[in-house]
Structure 1
Amino acid sequence: MRIEPVPKVWGSLLGSSRVHCNVELAERARTTLFQLEPANAGTYVLLADTYAEAGKWDAVKRVKRLDR
């Protein structure tokens, strides 16, 4: 990209990775979003939903503990 992506772009990427059950892409978006907006609860919810879709229940529990 010619410009640095803003958090909304990364959030869209995280949301689409949930729809397509792409955990690898979700984790990449998560890393950037946690740096840009660590207090945004939506990031945690989308990430937990992505893990749940993939059947990674231990990862869902870890994300839910991070959100506190």
Structure 2
Amino acid sequence: MDAMKVFGKEANAWRRINKFCLCLTVLRFISNQQNFISRRIPPLIPTIYSSIESEVLSSFARSPDV
């Protein structure tokens, strides 16, 4: 009977450890995704802004004076 209690407590401890490791893995994955996004998006922002700006300026240049 004592062996079953010890084994049950050990199994619960391993379940807790596994849940903790899974949480750490998920948090690390989310952190890596945020780092990837933050490295990729900022270089695109000036490009997007300049393309919008050039499109707006060219549309003003094409529009007839009122």
TM-score per shorter chain, which class? under 0.3
Please report the TM-score for the alignment, with normalisation by the length of structure 2: 0.25
Query: Is the helix fraction higher in 1 or 2?
Result: 2
Larger Rg: 2
Please report the TM-score for the alignment, with normalisation by the length of structure 1: 0.24
